[in-house]
Amino acid sequence: NAGVTQTPKFQVLKTGQSMTLQCAQDMNHNSMYWYRQDPGMGLRLIYYSASEGTTDKGEVPNGYNVSRLNKREFSLRLESAAPSQTSVYFCASSEAGTGKLEAFFGQGTRLTVV
């Protein structure tokens, strides 16, 4: 059981380049999330999707776009990368319903923008 799979694991971009981070889950979860992790700031929510076909902004959405392609996949796009977007990005998914709401995380993508 793979759980949550993110690709790529590492990426270096030049300022102004674009890229898409891919995320897929095989747990039939309704909700999916993108977070960025920066030292001393914990995990900050970029975008989330409560269910297939819906997406909503989180705490730090500027400079990002997302697509909930289907129930399994939720991608994060950087249209014009900036050094401030250097971070570790985590995708997560969760089930709906009382007692099942915890998030399961992917292994992360370490992105460096130079």
Partner 1 sequence: AQSVSQHNHHVILSEAASLELGCNYSYGGTVNLFWYVQYPGQHLQLLLKYFSGDPLVKGIKGFEAEFIKSKFSFNLRKPSVQWSDTAEYFCAVYSSASKIIFGSGTRLSIRP
Which residues bind to partner 1, rule: CB under 8 A? 31, 33, 35, 40-45, 48, 50, 56, 58-59, 90, 92, 94, 96, 98-99, 101-108
Q: Partners of 37 in the beta sheet?
A: 43, 88
**Residue among 80 and 100 whose Cβ is closer to partner 1:** 100
**Residue among 73 and 95 whose Cβ is closer to partner 1:** 95
- Closest distance between partner 1 and the C-beta of residue 29, in Å? 12
**Peptide bond between residue 39 and the one before it cis (omega within 30 degrees of 0):** no
**Residue among 72 and 105 whose Cβ is closer to partner 1:** 105
Q: What is the DSSP string of 25-87?
A: ESS--SEEEEEEEETTTEEEEEEEESSTT--EE-S--TTEEEEE-SSSBEEEEESS--GGG-E
- Closest distance between partner 1 and the C-beta of residue 31, in Å? 6
- Closest distance between partner 1 and the C-beta of residue 32, in Å? 10
- Closest distance between partner 1 and the C-beta of residue 23, in Å? 12
CA distance 80 to 14: 9
